[in-house]
Structure 1
Amino acid sequence: MDIILAGIIFLISYIFIMTEKINRAVIAMAGGVLLLLTGVYSVDEVFKNYIDWQTISLLFSMMVLISITEKTGLFSFIAVRFAQQVRGSPIPLFIGVSILTAVGSALLDNVTTVLILVPIILKITKQLSLPSFPYLLIIIFSSNIGGTATLIGDPPNIMIGQAVDHFTFLSFINHLAPVAVIMFILMLMIMLPLFRRTLRAQNSNMDELMRIDASSYLIKTPMLYQSIAVLTMTLTGFLLHAFLHIELTVIALSGAILLLLLTEKEMATENVFSRVEWVTLFFFIGLFTLVGGLESAGIIDELARAIILWTDGDFAVTAILILWISGLFSGIVDNIPFVAAMIPVVEELEGYGMVYLDPIWWSLALGACLGGNATLIGASANVVVAGLAEGDNQKLSFIRFMLYGVPFVILSLLVATVYIYIRYLIPYTNL
């Protein structure tokens, strides 16, 4: 009975989220409450097992840091200077933003990267009277592709890295960065022709942009220098967290609290909290509760275990099937809970005689990270971008995003299939 209830509630909630008739956070939370009322799980289970409070805390902390820093005019300064460097030309701006996003997502993490870059690009597109959709789309795609390349780039990679003792930071770069670079190049080759006609700025806007004194946007008070210092320390902490043995969430929380303390006289905490994207945070909470219902009812576990039965223990078929299942399923639900359910299943494969599991782990990582590009709720970064855009009155359409996301994910999985087969499966079968 729980399976039927969880499945129906999730499906109905997902349909309402897609139609965008009602606020998505309200729908997600309502679905979670229905799961509680129908007894699929208890309140304790939801708060202890299914809501990823580390992700929520990381998002909240970065929103606090960015809200305070934004008031100093720093992001407006960066936005104008960046646009002036490419002389307001939309195509170089498009390419530059995608590169910045991909590199930032690989070195930091994709959620932090989009939290920093999206407010900047929204300001630039407004200044140049450009459509924001192509830039937001490329930011999401680039963040998930860049996040695929490293251990800390995407939450699924962090989870897999923690599950497999012999995987290091360099392991992820060695095994996943090559295919991420290939996908990034393909993305630009596909997206540039698609949006070339719409990426045109008026000469008057470009001339006006070049005449702006970027430094005039900076509010040169102690809060500016405090914000830069704390934000720099926080980002440095992210880069060094593996060596410092401190969780990313702890580093982000420390930075947020420190900056709140330092800037209390210039910007009251109440004002900072009023600028936090609470709708996005509560949508995450609702999304975790919805997917938690699928987990509690055993739907995700059964799907994962069915993979083993379908492949009949064949190593090559198992690796490819996990790639596609994780890729397609991660487009429907957030990839974090799906990977959490899949990790013990992959570990169980050793009991079926599969001693060398590395290709299967890489298949899971590629599928989960690349598959997140399919929909606006496929990955954490997608949800954050959509929330920031909505907060700026530039709402991203769920259906419109899917029209680009789903075909691109299918292409990504095809490329990943060839990569997995050539790099791992052919050498393995020849042993």
Structure 2
Amino acid sequence: MDVLLAAVIFVVSYLFIMMEKINRAIVALAGGMLLLLTGVYDVNDVFFQYIDWNTIALLFSMMVLISITERTGLFSFIAVRLAQQVGGSPIPLMAGVCGLTALGSALLDNVTTVLILVPIVLKITKQLQLPVFPYLLAVIFSSNIGGTATLIGDPPNIMIGQAVEHFTFLSFVIHLAPVAVIMFMIMILMLVPMFRKKLQTKEANKKQLMEMDASLYLVHSPMLYQSITVLLMTLTGFVLHAFLHIDLTVVALCGAILLLLLTEKEIPTEQVFSRVEWVTLFFFVGLFALVGGLQEAGIIDELARGIVRWTDGDYVGTAILILWMSGLFSGIVDNIPFVAAMIPIIEEFESYGMVYLDPIWWALALGACLGGNATLIGASANVVVAGLAEGNGEKLSFLRFMLYGVPFVLLSLGVATLYLYVRYLIPYMG
């Protein structure tokens, strides 16, 4: 009975999220509440097992940092300077935004990167009177592709890196960065022709942009230098967290609280909190609760175990099926809980005679990270971008995003399949 209830509640909630008639946070929270009322799980399960409070706290901390820093005019300054560097040309601007997003997502993590870059993109497109959707689509695709390349780029990679002792930061770069670079190039070659006709701006807008003095946007006060310093310290902490043995969430919380203390006289804490994207945070809470229902009912675990039964233990078939299953499933639910459910299953594969599991781990990482591009709830970064855009009056349509996201994910998984087959599976069969 719990299986049927969890499945029905999840599907109905998902349909309402797609229709966008009711705020997605309310729908997700209502779905979680129904799971509680019907006894699929209890309060302790949902609050202490299924809701990833580390992710919520990390997002909240970065929103506080970004909110305070934005008041200094720093992002407006960067936006104008970036646009001026490419002469206000829409196509080079898109390529530059994609490159920055992918690089930032690889070296930091994709959630932090989009929190920093999306406000900049919104300001640039408004200044040049450009449609914002193509740029936000490019940011989401780039963030998930860039996050695929390193251990710290995307939460699923962090989880896999913690589960497999011999995987290091360099391991992820060597094995996943090549296919991430290939997918990034394919993405650029797809998006530019697709949106070329829409990405037009008037010469008057370009001229006005080039004549602007970007430094005028900066508010020269102690808060500017405090914000820059704390933000850089926090980002440095992200890069070095593995060496410092400090959790990413702790680094972010320390940065947010320190900046709140330093700037309290210039900007009251109440004002900072009023600019936090609470709808996005509560949507995450509801989403974790919904997927938790699937986990509690055993649906995700049964799907994972079905892989081995379906392939009858065939090594090559198992690796490719995991790639596609994780890719397609991560487009429907957030990839974090799916990877959490898959890790113990893959660890059990040794009992089926699969001794060399590395290619299967890489298949899981590629599927989870690249599959997140399918829908607006496929990855944490997607939800954050949608929340930031909506907070600025630019609502991203769930269905419109899917029209671009699903085909791109299918292409990504096809490329990843070829990569896995050539680099790992053919040598294994030989």
The TM-score bracket by the shorter chain reads over 0.9
Deviations 1:315-341 (A, max 9, x none): 000000000000000000000000000
Task: Output aligned runs, 1:380-391, within 5 Å.
Answer: 380-391=380-391
* Residue 197 (structure 1) shift: 0.5
Match of 1:124 in 2: 124
Partners of 1:72 and 1:96 in 2: CA distance: 24
Partners of 1:422 and 1:80 in 2: CA distance: 44
Match of 2:253 in 1: 253
Partners of 2:297 and 2:397 in 1: CA distance: 31
Match of 1:137 in 2: 137
Match of 2:33 in 1: 33
Match of 1:68 in 2: 68
Match of 2:158 in 1: 158
Task: Output aligned runs, 1:49-198, within 5 Å.
Answer: 49-198=49-198
* Residue 279 (structure 1) shift: 0.2
Match of 2:8 in 1: 8
SS of aligned partner of 2:332:
coil
Is 1:288 paired with 2:288?
Answer: yes
Match of 1:224 in 2: 224
Partners of 2:210 and 2:347 in 1: CA distance: 57
Match of 1:262 in 2: 262
* Residue 85 (structure 1) shift: 0.7
SS of aligned partner of 2:183:
helix
SS of aligned partner of 2:197:
coil
Match of 2:372 in 1: 372
Partners of 2:121 and 2:378 in 1: CA distance: 22
Partners of 1:210 and 1:193 in 2: CA distance: 26
What's the TM-score once normalised by structure 2's chain length? 1.00
Partners of 1:385 and 1:202 in 2: CA distance: 27
Q: What amino acid does structure 1 have at the position aligned with 2:242? A: A
SS of aligned partner of 2:178:
helix
* Residue 211 (structure 1) shift: 1.1
Partners of 1:203 and 1:151 in 2: CA distance: 43
Q: What amino acid does structure 1 have at the position aligned with 2:302? A: E
* Residue 310 (structure 1) shift: 0.1
Match of 2:327 in 1: 327
SS of aligned partner of 2:14:
helix
Partners of 2:87 and 2:158 in 1: CA distance: 38
Output the aligned Cα RMSD.
Answer: 0.4
Match of 2:396 in 1: 396
Partners of 2:190 and 2:211 in 1: CA distance: 33
Partners of 2:103 and 2:201 in 1: CA distance: 26
Is 1:300 paired with 2:300?
Answer: yes
Task: Output aligned runs, 1:420-431, within 5 Å.
Answer: 420-430=420-430
Which ranges in structure 2 are unaligned for 5 or more consecutive residues?
Answer: none
SS of aligned partner of 2:64:
helix
Partners of 1:285 and 1:267 in 2: CA distance: 28
Deviations 1:65-94 (A, max 9, x none): 000000000000000111111111100000
- Amino-acid identity (%): 78
Deviations 1:129-166 (A, max 9, x none): 00000000000000000000000000000000000000
Task: Output aligned runs, 1:16-31, within 5 Å.
Answer: 16-31=16-31
Match of 1:43 in 2: 43
Q: What amino acid does structure 1 have at the position aligned with 2:58? A: L
Which consecutive aligned stretches of 4+ in structure 1 deviate over 6 angstroms post-superposition? none
Partners of 1:337 and 1:76 in 2: CA distance: 36
Which ranges in structure 1 are unaligned for 5 or more consecutive residues?
Answer: none
Q: What amino acid does structure 2 have at the position aligned with 1:98? A: C
Deviations 1:8-46 (A, max 9, x none): 000000000000000000000000000000000000000
Partners of 1:209 and 1:345 in 2: CA distance: 54
Partners of 1:209 and 1:190 in 2: CA distance: 28
SS of aligned partner of 1:197:
coil
Partners of 1:338 and 1:352 in 2: CA distance: 22
Match of 1:211 in 2: 211
SS of aligned partner of 1:331:
helix
Match of 2:345 in 1: 345
Partners of 1:23 and 1:81 in 2: CA distance: 36
What's the TM-score once normalised by structure 1's chain length? 1.00
